[in-house]
């Protein structure tokens, strides 16, 4: 599902340092997003913080996401 990046909420995360995103940004430019991020039904990020931040830095307004059903 395509979702607006501005709607995604990032709660407390385990990873403190996202590392160098340049290689990931190059890959996103060349191939697009091959593995969607994962969010829950409240649009809280579950997985894919590096991909999300790389997309933000590239100026993307929307990103492909898998939405987990919490039931």
- pTM reported for the whole predicted model: 0.90
Contact 69, 3 (CB under 8 A): no
Identify the pLDDT of residue 49: 95
- Report the distance separating Cα 71 and Cα 4, nearest Å: 23
Summarised one tens digit per residue, pLDDT across range 16-39 is 788 999 999 999 999 999 999 999
């Amino acid at each position: 599902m395509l979702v607006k990046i501005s709607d995604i909420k990032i709660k407390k995360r385990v990873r403190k340092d996202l590392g160098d995103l340049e290689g990931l940004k190059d890959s996103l430019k060349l191939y697009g997003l091959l593995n969607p991020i994962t969010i829950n039904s409240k649009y809280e990020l579950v997985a894919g913080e590096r991909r999300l931040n790389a997309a933000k830095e590239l100026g993307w307004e929307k990103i492909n996401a898998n939405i987990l059903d919490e039931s």
